[in-house]
Amino acid sequence: MSSTINQDIASSISSARINKEKRFQIYGVAALLFAMIMLVTLFITIFSKGLSAFIQTKVNLDIELTQEVIDPEGSRDLNVLKQANYQKLIDDSLKLYALNLFDKDEKELIKNLRMILSPIAYLELRNLVIDNQDFIGKTKKVSFIASDDIDQYFKGKIDMSIPEDDRKITDIQEKFLDDLQSKGQINKVFNKTLFTKSDSREAELSGVLGAVIGSFYSLLIAGLLSIPIGIGAAIYLQEFAKKNRITDFIEININNLAAVPSIVFGLLGLAIFLNMFLMPRSAPLVGGMVLALMTLPKIIIPARAAILAVPNSIKDGALALGASHMQVILHYVLPLAMPAILTGIIIGLAQALGETAPLLMIGMVAFIPDTPIYMTDPATALPVQIFMWADHPERAFVERTSAAIIILLFFLILMNSIAIYLRQKFERKW
């Protein structure tokens, strides 16, 4: 009788345990599905808003490059060509296209139609004439960058059903644009400006080149500083340092630094690099040094774990053959641990690439329209550029913000993919 009772109790306990395990598995699968749904939603949102930024609207106009306006004396002097009234040539072309469409005051009409082109339209025409001086005296079809509002109009992001006073596109502009489109004067091309220009107040002229170069310089400095220092510190702590209170204190603080908010490192960089050493503000050099401080603990910790994972038998065998302690580390331990160390390095630098807060503290949030050449030149970074564009009220900056996020995600995914590849290719198992 008692054995039957014991069997029933054991069966009920076993059944309850199995049910708990099944519930736990269900919870795990549900959590995984939820995370995947959120990730897919994020990607769909970003890509749906940002992909249109890779396309740019162009307005093609027949421009009469009158010699009397550009170069009356025919000298072809560069200063004369630069100072010519190219805006008048554009206005004359717009007037000619609008001649049969509108019965309006000429000045108001031209002022209205000018806004369909980018503010630098006259500069585009000037550069074209300077590069092709044989065009002077001829009529040429010139492709101009459309203004941001016009670009959004052709992308279907402006509601034309609302009253004219409440939208960016006037009825005159709409009628004129529809006429140009019917004549094949409007076309959409790949947005090279996004990759070849730096920041601008005008959305249609803004690009990520300056931010990408700033991020590259900052990441380069961070890597050059953090990698050798981090690996060296890991080797010393794991192989040479005596286990005492001092090393325990250092290890605890390294682990704590890995969890410190990144903005704290920005404050440290502001206090030391800028205020104490008077280094240039908004420079990738300073940004890289701050990111190096932030990345160091994230390199030291996995590097120590990788070194510790190397079997003692390999070390003992090398020592038995007469190798010194340093030779064992350099020729045996470090090469075997390097795949895992490289993975930690790349992941740490990938995280540094996406950081914004520490760079804000050292002034890399400034509006910088020029592309940096040297590491001491004022610059911004890609995540900071995203932060700045997201704060602009213009509709066109919304899609550029998403486009910059897509570019940043591309680099982050690339770096993490490299880390996975290196681990799988070079990792050794014992």
User: Domain check: are 129 and 239 in the same one?
Assistant: no
Is residue 345 in some structural domain? yes
Is residue 196 in some structural domain? no
User: Domain check: are 307 and 411 in the same one?
Assistant: yes
Question: CB of 309 within 8 A of CB of 340?
Answer: yes
Per-residue pLDDT, 29 = 92
User: Domain check: are 144 and 218 in the same one?
Assistant: no
Straight-line distance from the first to the last Cα atom of the chain, in angstroms, rounded to the nearest whole number: 53
pLDDT digits (tens, 9 = 90+) for 177-225: 998 999 899 999 999 999 999 999 899 999 999 999 999 999 999 999 9
How many angstroms from the chain centroid is the CA of residue 111?
37
pLDDT digits (tens, 9 = 90+) for 240-266: 888 888 888 988 899 888 888 888 999
Is residue 145 in some structural domain? yes
**Region 109-134 average pLDDT:** 90
User: Domain check: are 327 and 385 in the same one?
Assistant: yes
Q: How would residue 127 be classed by pLDDT, with cut points 50, 70 and 90?
A: very high
Q: How would residue 105 be classed by pLDDT, with cut points 50, 70 and 90?
A: low
Closest of 337, 264, 341 to residue 300, by C-alpha: 341
If one counts every other C-beta atom within 10 angstroms of the C-beta of residue 125, the result is: 23
**pLDDT score of 1 more than 60:** no
Is residue 248 in some structural domain? yes
Is residue 292 in some structural domain? yes
User: Domain check: are 12 and 106 in the same one?
Assistant: no
User: Domain check: are 187 and 270 in the same one?
Assistant: no
Per-residue pLDDT, 130 = 92
User: Domain check: are 45 and 66 in the same one?
Assistant: no
Is residue 203 in some structural domain? no
Is residue 150 in some structural domain? yes
pLDDT digits (tens, 9 = 90+) for 294-323: 999 999 999 999 999 888 888 888 888 888
Structural domains of the chain, count: 3
Question: CB of 395 within 8 A of CB of 157?
Answer: yes
Question: CB of 328 within 8 A of CB of 319?
Answer: yes
Question: What is the extent of the structural domain holding 243?
Answer: 209-426
User: Domain check: are 348 and 369 in the same one?
Assistant: yes
Structure tokens at 364: 């890399």
User: Domain check: are 226 and 168 in the same one?
Assistant: no
Given 51, 69, 89, the domain boundary residue is 51
User: Domain check: are 121 and 260 in the same one?
Assistant: no
What is the helix, strand, coil percentage profile of the chain, to 5? 70, 5, 25
Per-residue pLDDT, 226 = 94
pTM: 0.87
User: Domain check: are 81 and 23 in the same one?
Assistant: no
CATH number at residue 386: 1.10.3720.10
For the ranges 16-25, 77-86, 295-304, 383-392, which has the lowest average pLDDT? 16-25
Beta-carbon contacts of 409 under 8 Å, excluding residues fewer than 6 positions away, are: 46
User: Domain check: are 19 and 120 in the same one?
Assistant: no
Question: CB of 220 within 8 A of CB of 165?
Answer: no
Is residue 253 in some structural domain? yes
**pLDDT score of 2 more than 70:** no
In whole angstroms, give the CA distance from residue 176 to residue 165: 18
In whole angstroms, give the CA distance from residue 2 to residue 12: 15
